[in-house]
Amino acid sequence: MKIIKTKNYEEMSRKAANIFFAQVVAKPDSVLGLATGSSVLGLYENLIKHYKNGDVDFSDIKTINLDEYAGLGKESDQSYRYYMDNNLFNHVNVKKENTNLPNGLAKDMKVECKRYNDIIENFGGADIQLLGLGLNGHIGFNEPSDVFPKETHLVDLEESTIKANSRFFENEKDVPRQAVTMGIQNIMQAKQIVLCVCGKQKAKILKAVLFGDVTPNVPGSILQLHNNLIVAADEDALSEI
Ligand code: GLP
């Protein structure tokens, strides 16, 4: 594990973006595993800057996102498809048909989970996977549980996750109660993982994730077993370590 300690969010975003930038330059047909949330927004802004400067080409890039809310489609400004289109895809030359997210509006979620899992399997996992960290230690939407779910699955969101994510919604009751998420095996299949964490409120859980027991009660703790993990985190998030 490699830890990049930064002064603040801006520095974290820049440094983590540089890792993705280098990946795309070195392997222009990479499979990028992408994430949503506020921790990774600055990274996308930096990638867009590199693109606008003419320094990086996404035309052969393929993407697979971690997760999507059940019940939300691309028209909903809270869906992860909307987030990705508006915060990255619409601003670079990635081909939309090469971007993959679970379909939150699928009629049969079992079929949808299998479809998405097959996409990941066919790629052989991501070349590089971006992750944020939930306050309860979740990665993607793999919530604390008794087991590590392996494949893409439908998950009931924890009350704490619903509360944490309600800041993006008008009303807490608008937050979907379920989501489709990559499983732990799908995530761990990535050749490299970049975990972005910032803020004091994540300090305790980040310590548990990186140095506590490896347990499905802290889903992110599985990352300790990955042999190419980079953690980009600010001083506040690393303050317990
Ligand atoms: C959501 C996403 C996660 C993300 C987490 C942290 O729950 N499903 O993939 O890591 O939020 O978000 P933030 O970076 O906004 O704290």
Catalytic residue, from 46, 112, 138, 234: name it: 138
Pair of tokens at residue 72:
């939300």
Does any ligand 1 atom lie closer than 6 A to the CB of residue 165? yes
Q: What is the mean pLDDT of the chain?
A: 97
Q: What is the mean pLDDT of residues 115-131?
A: 98
How remote is the CA of residue 197 from the centroid of ligand 1, in Å? 10
Per-residue pLDDT at 234: 98
Which atom belonging to ligand 1 lies closest to the Cα atom of 35? 9
Which atom belonging to ligand 1 lies closest to the Cα atom of 181? 8
DSSP 157: P
The Cβ of residue 128 has, within 10 Å, a number of other Cβ atoms equal to 22
How remote is the CA of residue 8 from the centroid of ligand 1, in Å? 18
Q: What is the pLDDT of residues 135-168, one digit of tens each?
A: 999 999 999 999 999 999 999 999 999 999 999 9
Q: Which of 13, 39, 196, 197 to mutate to test the pocket of ligand 1 (most atoms within 8 A of CB)?
A: 39
Residue nearest to atom 4 of ligand 1 (CA): 132
Please say if 153 is a catalytic residue: no
Res. 222 pLDDT band, cuts 50 70 90 = very high
Q: What is the mean pLDDT of residues 17-30?
A: 98
Per-residue pLDDT at 100: 98
The Cα angle at residue 186 between residues 181 and 190, in degrees rounded to 5: 125
Q: What is the pLDDT of residues 191-210, one digit of tens each?
A: 999 999 999 999 999 999 99
- List CB contacts of 132: < 8 A, sequence separation 6 or more: 35, 36, 37, 38, 39, 40, 139, 195, 196, 197
Tokens 């973006």 found at: 17
How remote is the CA of residue 165 from the centroid of ligand 1, in Å? 8
Domains of the chain with bracketed CATH? 2-234 (3.40.50.1360)
Please say if 138 is a catalytic residue: yes
How remote is the CA of residue 203 from the centroid of ligand 1, in Å? 15
Q: What is the pLDDT of residues 25-51, one digit of tens each?
A: 999 999 999 999 999 999 999 999 999
H or E element that contains 69:
strand 67-69
Res. 224 pLDDT band, cuts 50 70 90 = very high
Tokens 């990705």 found at: 84
How remote is the CA of residue 161 from the centroid of ligand 1, in Å? 9
H or E element that contains 233:
strand 229-234
Per-residue pLDDT at 10: 98
Per mean pLDDT, which range of 32-41, 101-110, 166-175 is the poorest? 166-175
Per-residue pLDDT at 163: 94
Per-residue pLDDT at 183: 98
Does any ligand 1 atom lie closer than 6 A to the CB of residue 38? yes
Q: What is the pLDDT of residues 45-77, one digit of tens each?
A: 999 999 999 999 999 999 999 999 999 999 999
Residue ranges in 127-198 assigned as alpha helix (H): 159-165, 184-188
Collapsing DSSP states into helix, strand and coil, what is residue 40? coil
DSSP 46: H
Contact 104, 81 (CB under 8 A): yes
Per-residue pLDDT at 156: 96
Q: What is the mean pLDDT of residues 89-103?
A: 98
Per-residue pLDDT at 187: 98
Res. 80 pLDDT band, cuts 50 70 90 = very high
Catalytic residue, from 46, 65, 67, 112: name it: 67
Q: Which is nearest to 183 in space by CA: 218, 152, 221? A: 152
Does any ligand 1 atom lie closer than 6 A to the CB of residue 66? yes
Catalytic residue, from 68, 112, 127, 143: name it: 143
